[in-house]
Amino acid sequence: MTRLADIGAAVIGSGFIGTVHVEALRRLGVRVAGVLGSSAERGAARAADLGLARGYAGLAELLADDAVQVVHVTSPNELHHPQVKEILAAGRHVVCEKPLAMTSAESGELVQLARASGLVHAVNFNLRFYPLNQHVTELVRHGGIGEVRLATGHYFQDWLLHDTDWNWRLEKDRGGALRAVGDIGSHWLDLMTTLTGRRVEAVMAELTTFIPVRHKPAGPVETFSTRRAAETIPIRIETEDTATILLRFEGGGRGSVAISQLSPGRKNSLTYQVDGSTAAVAWDSERPEQLWIGRRDEPNQLLIRNPALMNAAGRAAARLPGGHVEGFADTFGAAFSAIYADVLAGGPSSSPAYATFEDGHEEMLVGDAVLASSHSGRWVEVARPATTAGADRGPGREVPAR
Ligand SMILES: NC(=O)c1ccc[n+]([C@@H]2O[C@H](COP(=O)([O-])OP(=O)(O)OC[C@H]3O[C@@H](n4cnc5c(N)ncnc54)[C@H](O)[C@@H]3O)[C@@H](O)[C@H]2O)c1
């Protein structure tokens, strides 16, 4: 294969984010062969809506399609592990939505299977690919803010504010034991590790469920839907609405993050400030074209996304000239460009800019430490066993306060 147009992809799931995957692939010029929905009828209907040739009746039918070399997994979280296993076994490259799996034992197994396969394996931590975040990654790597000291911020949404708001993510056996942290906090944590080049070493976390009972609609619900159902069933909620986490990074850095799906007015606001010894950088996903650069002894700067003013990494992720606003959906194009360069090459490169299964597994391990700390009320180190399987691993070791 030499060109993107020679590659065929299929997308599992055609809800909120599956549709964004299809659109981004088409913009790149990848052939989208079809989609797989929750039923043959739903898949056929969504394929027709999106102008795709095929709505597959099942995963076996999708994997029997020789036109497909890459499979994108955008189904609910509990399906990622079994579907990815089948995809790798069928010899297809895979792009999986976050979180990679429901548990670190599952994600560890997927890391091993992916490594053994020689296939491209990516997790869609797309927020890395806002051009200004790519710019910051390269800036920090080259010492542009000095020694990294403090990373702080939040990830706030409000779409689960009411007790009548419902989504499959609220069900522990469909979304995972961590909800706000797994669903959106994982993006923030992956982004901080990417920007600073430092992994999280230990956490001290508090998880809170402010709405202990929610009213589940009797019928299906779309993600981010604000419609109220007439008939509902009361359901006890076992996962967190909010999280407050203190962080220790490798190399001595410190941090804190607040995560919430109940913050009125914040639709999808990820913010960070990374303070270094010579400069600071701050960014807000609801104003993604602006990067604040703070300095002590000279005026602060506001860098507006502009290929002419960003470093090579920032330029590579940008599509349009400055002032021609890029946003959330564009990050998928930039992420997929990096992933599909490896697909064209036939296998994973040594240190890709996109998140791999190792990175997806890493966020599951940090999640384990968050959960363990929330139970014990103590600092917990992120446990990284030599084996990535994770099955023989405990929830992490408690560490003394420093
Ligand atoms: N990277 C991001 O920014 C981002 C944003 C949103 C969601 N996500 C992730 O994407 C995934 C989907 O989230 P969403 O918001 O699109 O959810 P959604 O509910 O809108 O869509 C899920 C889709 O999966 C389909 N589905 C259900 N069972 C299936 C099955 N057995 N086989 C195939 N398809 C099936 C549903 O019909 C639906 O179309 C989640 O893992 C979520 O964490 C990532």
Nearest-10 crossing angle of helices 16-28, 328-345: 60
Q: What is the pLDDT of residue 164?
A: 95
* Position in ligand 1 atom list of the atom nearest CA 75: 24
Model confidence pLDDT, tens digit, residues 221-241: 666 666 676 789 999 999 999
* Position in ligand 1 atom list of the atom nearest CA 127: 3
Distance (Å, rounded) from C-alpha 47 to C-alpha 34?
A: 6
* Closest CA to ligand 1's atom 32: 38
Which of the listed residues 11, 12, 16 should we mutate to test ligand 1's pocket, taking the one with most ligand atoms within 8 A of CB? 16
Give me the count of residues in the chain: 402
SS3 category, 54:
strand
| Residue type, position 380, single letter | V
CA of 37 to the centre of ligand 1 (A): 10
CA of 123 to the centre of ligand 1 (A): 14
CA of 42 to the centre of ligand 1 (A): 13
Which of the listed residues 11, 46, 50, 74 should we mutate to test ligand 1's pocket, taking the one with most ligand atoms within 8 A of CB? 74
Structure tokens at 34: 């079809």
* Position in ligand 1 atom list of the atom nearest CA 328: 3
| DSSP H/E element including 48 | helix 40-50
Q: What is the pLDDT of residue 388?
A: 53
Residues with CB under 6 A from ligand 1: 12-18, 36-38, 42, 74-77, 79, 97-98, 124, 126, 168, 183, 222-223
Number of helices (H) and strands (E), helices first, in the chain?
12, 18
Question: Which phi and psi (to 5°) does residue 236 adopt?
Answer: -75, 135
Q: What is the pLDDT of residue 399?
A: 57
Structure tokens at 4: 């993107």
| Residue type, position 2, single letter | T
Q: What is the pLDDT of residue 393?
A: 36
Residue 107 near residue 100 (C-beta atoms within 8 A): yes
Residue 97 near residue 73 (C-beta atoms within 8 A): yes
Q: What is the pLDDT of residue 385?
A: 85
| DSSP H/E element including 190 | helix 186-196
Distance (Å, rounded) from C-alpha 244 to C-alpha 258?
A: 5
> What residues in the chain have per-residue pLDDT under 70?
1, 220-227, 229, 387-402
Structure tokens at 222: 């779309």
CA of 216 to the centre of ligand 1 (A): 18
CA of 189 to the centre of ligand 1 (A): 21
Q: What is the pLDDT of residue 398?
A: 58
* Closest CA to ligand 1's atom 28: 38
Structure tokens at 19: 């549709």
* Position in ligand 1 atom list of the atom nearest CA 42: 37
Q: What is the pLDDT of residue 390?
A: 39
* Closest CA to ligand 1's atom 10: 74
* Position in ligand 1 atom list of the atom nearest CA 36: 33
Model confidence pLDDT, tens digit, residues 58-114: 999 999 999 999 999 999 999 999 999 999 999 999 999 999 999 999 999 999 999
| pTM assigned to the model | 0.94
Q: E-strand spans in 85-241?
A: 93-96, 121-123, 148-156, 200-208, 213-217, 232-236
Distance (Å, rounded) from C-alpha 315 to C-alpha 143?
A: 19
Q: Quick one: which of 327, 353, 321 has its CA closest to 340?
A: 353
CA of 247 to the centre of ligand 1 (A): 29
**70-73 and 93-96 strand pairing:** parallel
Which of the listed residues 17, 79, 174 should we mutate to test ligand 1's pocket, taking the one with most ligand atoms within 8 A of CB? 17
CA of 49 to the centre of ligand 1 (A): 17
* Closest CA to ligand 1's atom 37: 38
* Closest CA to ligand 1's atom 25: 13
Which of the listed residues 23, 38, 128, 222 should we mutate to test ligand 1's pocket, taking the one with most ligand atoms within 8 A of CB? 38
Q: Quick one: which of 179, 160, 159 has its CA closest to 169?
A: 179
Distance (Å, rounded) from C-alpha 287 to C-alpha 327?
A: 9
Q: What is the pLDDT of residue 389?
A: 43
Distance (Å, rounded) from C-alpha 246 to C-alpha 63?
A: 43
Q: What is the pLDDT of residue 1?
A: 61
Q: What is the pLDDT of residue 231?
A: 86
Nearest-10 crossing angle of helices 186-196, 131-141: 40
